[in-house]
Amino acid sequence: MSKHVAVWLDHAEAKIFHVDDERFDPKKIEPHHHARRVNDERSDPAALRHYFDDIARALNDAEEILVVGPGSAKLEFIKHVHEHARALVPRIVGVETTRHPTDGELEAHARHYFHAADRMRGTVR
């Protein structure tokens, strides 16, 4: 099981990063074409659910999850998790709004976030 996992998502893609001392492994998930929103049009609910299911499955091995993204997709995903992937609920340790960071910027942010969380719990110095 991966201890720390960060997921950045919007309606066009999700990037999942397993973060530990030695690695920062990205995995990309793209929605089926009908899940994407274009010019504020409503997305197909079934396709969006499938997209969020794919993301949730990719997070199954995480002990702690940081969810970040620029818009409403991250909050829609959190709602989906509460309704359809309840085992993930207690593992989500943070939800933050971010723009479109580079992978390096997201890596630095995730490492800082998880290190601070571990320090608050007293599990690292």
Identify the CATH number of the domain in which residue 85 sits.
3.30.420.60
Q: What is the pLDDT of residues 9-55, one digit of tens each?
A: 998 899 999 887 666 666 777 776 544 444 444 567 888 899 999 99
Residue 41 buriedness (CB in 10 A; 0-12 / 13-18 / 19+): exposed
Please state the pTM of the whole predicted model.
0.84
Whether 68 and 6 have beta carbons less than 8 Å apart is answered as: yes
Strands (E), 52-114: 62-69, 92-97
Domain that holds residue 115: 2-121
The count of domains in the chain is 1
> How far lies 69's CA from each of 1, 74, 75, 93, 100, in Å?
24, 6, 9, 15, 7
